[in-house]
Amino acid sequence: MLQARLVDEVRQIFIPDADYTKGIRQSIGVPKMDRYLREETYIDEDDESKKMLLQSSIANIKCNARLLICHQLDRIQRLTNEKMWFVHHIIATGVFNGERKEVVDELWRNTVLQQCLDIVKRFLQCDDTNIII
């Protein structure tokens, strides 16, 4: 099901001659799905090669996402180690385990949103917990 939603989402913005270096088309997934989207119309729905092509595209997306995560973590570490910035950690993973939208929305408000609002509020009030000496 996730694969179908991914393909549908990327298909909506897929243009064969588009420039993948600008705008929304440079987002995660679009360049990696290019080959699949170009060839899917020429391959039967039940063909194993179509499934393999999709799996390859998704594996490339995951690999690229891991690289982007590593780069982002390196940047965060540099800010904390070199610039001595205090970085707040909000872990939202548990929110997405909820099954119903209402459960996810409530978890998001309580687990993520409220913590973020509290951090911003303390920052705007110039609370001493934001000052590192």
Q: Which domain holds residue 23?
A: 1-84
Same domain, 114 and 129: yes
Supply the Cα-derived Rg of the chain in whole angstroms.
21
CATH of the domain at 33: 1.10.287.890
Q: Which of 22-36, 70-84, 119-133 has the highest mean pLDDT?
A: 70-84
| Separation of alpha carbons 94 and 12, rounded Å | 30
Same domain, 78 and 105: no
Same domain, 5 and 23: yes
In 23-34, which positions are buried (b, 16+ CB within 10 angstroms) versus exposed (e)? eebeeebbbbbb
Task: Count structural domains, the chain.
Answer: 2
Q: Looking at the predicted structure, is the pLDDT value of residue 110 above 50?
A: yes
pTM score > 0.75 for this model? no
**Contact between residue 54 and residue 7 where contact means Cβ atoms under 8 Å apart:** yes
Same domain, 115 and 74: no
Same domain, 119 and 69: no
Same domain, 17 and 67: yes
Same domain, 29 and 52: yes
Q: Looking at the predicted structure, is the pLDDT value of residue 114 above 90?
A: yes
Q: Helices (H) and strands (E) in the chain — how many of each?
A: 5, 0
Task: Select from 46, 65, 84 the last residue of a domain.
Answer: 84
- The residues, any chain, with a CB within 8 Å of residue 94's CB and separated by 6 or more, are 107, 111
Rounded-to-10 torsion of CA 111, 115, 93, 4: 90
Same domain, 117 and 78: no
Q: What is the mean pLDDT of residues 35-47?
A: 81
Q: What is the mean pLDDT of residues 35-46?
A: 82
Task: Select from 69, 84, 99 the last residue of a domain.
Answer: 84
| Separation of alpha carbons 27 and 21, rounded Å | 9
Q: How confident is the model at residue 30 (pLDDT cuts 50, 70, 90)?
A: confident
Same domain, 23 and 79: yes
Same domain, 76 and 34: yes
Same domain, 39 and 92: no
Same domain, 42 and 70: yes
The tokens describing 48, both together, are: 């194993």
